[in-house]
């Protein structure tokens, strides 16, 4: 009698965990800001930062992003696998039209991330060239 209860509890716990991961992934996919730079500018405007402060903040935030990427690099294949699994499940949920729209959003997000990465890399190179 005790064993089936334990199995049911473990199954329920697993379902909750999987649901949480999928919910988190969906939240990131569907509610990601269009461009982080827009969010930065809004924050800078709200705080009333000077142009010099804005440049300094950009440097700190870009360095933070680079550090995060360095930390994530070893586990990136695992994260990609989780993302691919979630997208396969999304595809089963969406209608063909919704799937097409979702794919378009993914492409736009990938383009934005690539542009942000390029911008950070150019900023880093410029900073290195200015350093003595």
Per-residue pLDDT 10s for the chain (132 aa) are: 578 777 777 767 676 666 666 666 666 655 554 455 668 888 999 999 999 999 999 899 989 989 999 999 999 999 999 999 999 999 999 999 999 999 999 999 989 888 887 887 787 777 777 766
Contact 37, 116 (CB under 8 A): yes
Contact 108, 30 (CB under 8 A): no
Residue 23's pLDDT is 67
| Residues 6 or more apart whose Cβ sits within 8 Å of residue 87 | 106
Query: Domains of the chain: which residue ranges?
Result: 1-31, 32-130
10 Å Cβ neighbour count for 55? 11
pTM: 0.48
Expressed in percent and rounded to 5, the helix, strand and coil fractions of the chain are 90, 0, 10
Contact 58, 40 (CB under 8 A): yes
């Amino acid at each position: 009698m005790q064993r089936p209860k334990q199995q049911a509890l473990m199954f329920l716990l697993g379902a909750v965990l999987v649901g949480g991961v999928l919910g988190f992934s969906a939240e990131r996919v569907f509610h990601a800001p269009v461009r982080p730079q827009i969010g930065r500018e809004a924050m800078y405007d709200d705080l009333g930062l000077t142009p010099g402060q804005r440049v300094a903040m950009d440097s700190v935030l870009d360095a933070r992003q680079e550090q995060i990427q360095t930390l994530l690099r070893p586990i990136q294949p695992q994260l990609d696998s989780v993302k691919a699994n979630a997208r396969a499940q999304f595809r089963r949920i969406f209608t063909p039209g919704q799937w097409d729209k979702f794919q378009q959003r993914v492409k736009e997000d990938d383009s934005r991330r690539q542009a942000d990465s390029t911008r950070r890399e150019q900023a880093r190179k410029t900073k290195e060239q200015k350093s003595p």
